[in-house]
Each structure stands twice: as structure tokens, then as C-alpha cells.
Amino acid sequence: QVQLVESGGGLVQPGGSLRLSCAASGILFRVYVMGWYRQAPGKQRELVATIARDGRTNYADSVNGRFTISRDNGLSTVYLQMNSLKPEDTAVYYCKGDYGGVTSWGQGTQVTVSS
């Protein structure tokens, strides 16, 4: 019933930009804390950014100043605008939603930063 679907990943050159989207269904989106996580090859999944129900945001130090998380509660969608991309940003990016002690995950979208 709960579904999070990511889109917007792909191959981009270093210094380029991508915007990821995560469309939610089956939840009252506006009450959820939403976030983006990523998992690079051979590494643990790590937090990228979160956005609270009131729009307050937090970022990992590695992306702060380059990435922007936002949400559109009317469209039940959370976005991750990624600028000045670096090869070390290469990972599968996952959308996460949290409410009432329950976590939902999307299936992920691949982001590859390479020349």
C-alpha cells in the first residue's frame, strides 16, 4: 500500500547537476519525515539529507552547499537537487519516509558521476 518511487538518476559529468524525485502514494505525505540516502559500491548506506514536515532540512557534511532537498506536499513528492556533482557522489540513491515508527523505502535510482 505504501509506495515510494524514485526517478531522475542517470549518468552525469563531474560538475554537472541532476534532480531526483520521489513520488509517494498510500501515505498522508505531509506528516512524514522524508529523506534521501545513498549507498556506494562496497559501502554502507548513508544519510544524504532529510526534510521535516515543516520543511526544516538537514544535510550530510559531504553534500552541504551542493545538494538541496525539498518537498511538495500537494504533489506528495520529495526532491533532491544535486549540483556540482563529484565522482564520489556515485551511488544508488534511496528515498525514505518515516512516520509513527514505521520506515518506508523506495527501490533506489542509480546516480553515476563520471567523465
- What pLDDT is attached to residue 11? 98
- What pLDDT is attached to residue 2? 85
Nearest to 12 by CA among 68, 105, 98, 81: 81
- What pLDDT is attached to residue 42? 94
Cβ within 8 Å of residue 32, ≥6 positions away = 24, 53, 97, 98, 99
pLDDT along the chain (115 residues), means of 10: 93 98 91 96 96 95 97 96 98 96 95 97
- What pLDDT is attached to residue 103? 95
Q: Are strands 46-51 and 57-59 parallel, antiparallel or unpaired?
A: antiparallel
- What pLDDT is attached to residue 96? 97
